[in-house]
Amino acid sequence: MNAPSPTSSGSKAPALIARVWHGVTPDAKADAYAAYLSSTGTRDCHATPGNRGVLVMRRSQGGETEFTFISLWESLDAIRAFAGADYEKARYYPKDAEYLLDLEPFVVHYDVVAAP
């Protein structure tokens, strides 16, 4: 995701907003990064008021492991509490650059229309 994508602006606030981030590691660093992600981003999302859950998915292909991180939020204000005022920028932690092949600058937000 190379550019910010505006959150949809319907007439009614969504019940949930999904914040989606994507990153790729070499396969050899995938397990260590999964543990690091759990102790940083996942932990911090869960600790932020207004967070309604986190999904972390991964798949390996061609020597690389792709991670997709989806956090669910009750409002943009809750997302700002986690990500800061410029909430469409990805939030990175000090050691992310040691694992990730690229630091994608932006995340994407979606209005959730169906959830488990």
What is the domain partition of the chain in residue ranges?
A: 22-85+92-111
Q: Tell me which architecture the domain covering 22-85+92-111 has in CATH.
A: 2-Layer Sandwich (3.30)
Residue 47 has pLDDT above 80, yes or no: yes
Rounded distance, CA 59 to CA 93, Å?
Answer: 22
Q: What are phi and psi of 32, to 5 degrees?
A: -65, -40
pLDDT at 2: 44
Q: Sorting pLDDT into bands at 50, 70 and 90, what band is 10?
A: low
For the segment 54-73, what is each residue's pLDDT rounded down to a tens digit?
Answer: 999 999 999 999 999 999 99
Cβ count near 46 (within 10 Å): 12
pLDDT averaged over every residue in the chain: 92
Q: What are phi and psi of 110, to 5 degrees?
A: -130, 145
pLDDT at 14: 74
Region 78-86: what's the mean pLDDT? 97
Region 92-114: what's the mean pLDDT? 97
In whole angstroms, how large is the CA radius of gyration of the chain?
14
Contact 17, 75 (CB under 8 A): yes
Region 24-33: what's the mean pLDDT? 98
